[in-house]
Structure 1
Amino acid sequence: MSLLEAAGRVSEIQSTLVALTPGARPKSAAAAPTAASATFAQTLSTVTGATKPEAVGTPLATGNATGADVVATAQKYLGVPYVFGGEDSTGMDCSGLVQRVYADLGIEVPRVVPDQAKVGTEVGSLANAQPGDLIVAKGSGHILIYAGNNQVIHAPRPGTSVMLAENWRKDSDIETIRRLVPATSAAPAAASAASAASAGSIDAFVAATQRAALSGGSR
Structure 2
Amino acid sequence: MSVTMTDALSRMSQIQSMIQNIGGTQSAAKNASVAAANAGAFAATLAAQLETTGTSATGAAALAGTAGATGTEVSTAAQKYLGVPYVFGGEDASGMDCSGLVQRVYADVGIEVPRLVSGQMKLGTEVASLAEAQPGDLIVTGGGDHILIYAGNNKVIHAPYPGRTVCLVDAYMTDADITTIRRVIPTPAVAPAGAGSPADMFSAALASFGTGGAR
- Kindly indicate whether the alpha-carbon contact (under 8 Å) linking 1:139 and 1:175 is maintained by their aligned counterparts in 2: yes
Bigger Rg, structure 1 or 2: 1
Of the structure 1 ranges 77-86 and 60-69, higher mean CA displacement relative to structure 2 is found in 60-69
Name the CA distance, whole Å, in 1 between partners of 2:60 and 2:142: 18
Tell me by how many angstroms 1:173 deviates: 1.4
Q: 1:176 aligns with which of 180, 197, 201?
A: 180
- Tell me if 1:94 matches 2:98: yes
Tell me by how many angstroms 1:108 deviates: 1.4
Q: Secondary structure at the match of 1:68?
A: helix
Corresponding position of 2:15: none
Name the CA distance, whole Å, in 1 between partners of 2:141 and 2:117: 9
Name the CA distance, whole Å, in 1 between partners of 2:177 and 2:184: 21
Name the CA distance, whole Å, in 2 between partners of 1:123 and 1:54: 17
Corresponding position of 2:47: 41
Amino acid in the other structure paired with 2:31: P
Name the CA distance, whole Å, in 2 between partners of 1:23 and 1:109: 52
Amino acid in the other structure paired with 2:84: V
Tell me by how many angstroms 1:45 deviates: 3.2
- Kindly indicate whether the alpha-carbon contact (under 8 Å) linking 1:60 and 1:108 is maintained by their aligned counterparts in 2: no
CA change 1:125–1:200 in 2 (3 A) is same
- Note the 1:108-127 alignment, pairs <5 A: 108-127=112-131
Amino acid in the other structure paired with 1:159: G
**What per-residue deviation string (whole Å, max 9, x for no partner) do you get for residues 99-122 of structure 1?**
111111222111111111112222
RMSD between aligned residues? 4.1
**What per-residue deviation string (whole Å, max 9, x for no partner) do you get for residues 148-172 of structure 1?**
1211111111111111111122222
Of the structure 1 ranges 33-42 and 166-175, higher mean CA displacement relative to structure 2 is found in 33-42
Name the CA distance, whole Å, in 1 between partners of 2:31 and 2:184: 45
CA change 1:124–1:32 in 2 (3 A) is farther
TM-score (norm: length of structure 2): 0.70
Corresponding position of 2:141: 137
Name the CA distance, whole Å, in 2 between partners of 1:189 and 1:67: 20
- Kindly indicate whether the alpha-carbon contact (under 8 Å) linking 1:83 and 1:92 is maintained by their aligned counterparts in 2: yes
Corresponding position of 1:84: 88
Amino acid in the other structure paired with 1:155: A
CA change 1:173–1:188 in 2 (3 A) is same
- Kindly indicate whether the alpha-carbon contact (under 8 Å) linking 1:57 and 1:121 is maintained by their aligned counterparts in 2: no
Amino acid in the other structure paired with 1:62: G
Tell me by how many angstroms 1:87 deviates: 0.6
Name the CA distance, whole Å, in 2 between partners of 1:172 and 1:54: 27
Count residues with an aligned counterpart. Answer: 196
- Kindly indicate whether the alpha-carbon contact (under 8 Å) linking 1:62 and 1:181 is maintained by their aligned counterparts in 2: no
CA change 1:75–1:187 in 2 (3 A) is farther
- Kindly indicate whether the alpha-carbon contact (under 8 Å) linking 2:54 and 2:125 is maintained by their aligned counterparts in 1: no
Instruction: List gaps (5 residues or longer) in structure 2.
Output: 13-25
Tell me by how many angstroms 1:49 deviates: 6.3
Name the CA distance, whole Å, in 2 between partners of 1:153 and 1:95: 12
